[in-house]
Amino acid sequence: MVGLPEAFAGTLGYHAARCAPLAGAGPEAVIAAFGSITLMAIRGVFQFLDARDRFRQMFLARDAAVVDGLRTYAPDIVEPLIEFGPDLSSVGVQLPLVAIDRVP
């Protein structure tokens, strides 16, 4: 899975997808931002996926897996979610960045 060892692809793939938006800042920044993810997992992901584009690939793979899962296990909600998508996007950009003033 995009450069992760097969034996760890599930667990590290999850971590890589979660870390993807901040991967460009490096492992220390990601560790500081995600206190609930073990630092060993984050360091391991950075060791295997050194380039930012590889983190993005994991992020996109995770999204594709969610779509596949919805279509397989909850097909009745797919169309309503698609219709509701633009409303969700417009709300998302309005959400406050509550912790932004706490960043050193």
pTM value is 0.65
Instruction: Give the per-residue pLDDT at 3.
Output: 65
Map out the domains of the chain as residue ranges. 6-90
Tokens describing residue 89: 């996007």
Instruction: Give the per-residue pLDDT at 17.
Output: 84
Mean pLDDT by 10 residues, the chain (104 residues): 68 83 89 84 86 83 90 96 87 68 44
Instruction: Give the per-residue pLDDT at 102.
Output: 45
Instruction: Give the per-residue pLDDT at 104.
Output: 42
CA–CA separation, 33 and 37 (whole Å) = 9
In sequence order, the 6+-apart residues with CB closer than 8 A to the CB of 55 are: 16, 19, 20, 23, 45, 49
CB 45 within 8 A of CB 12: yes
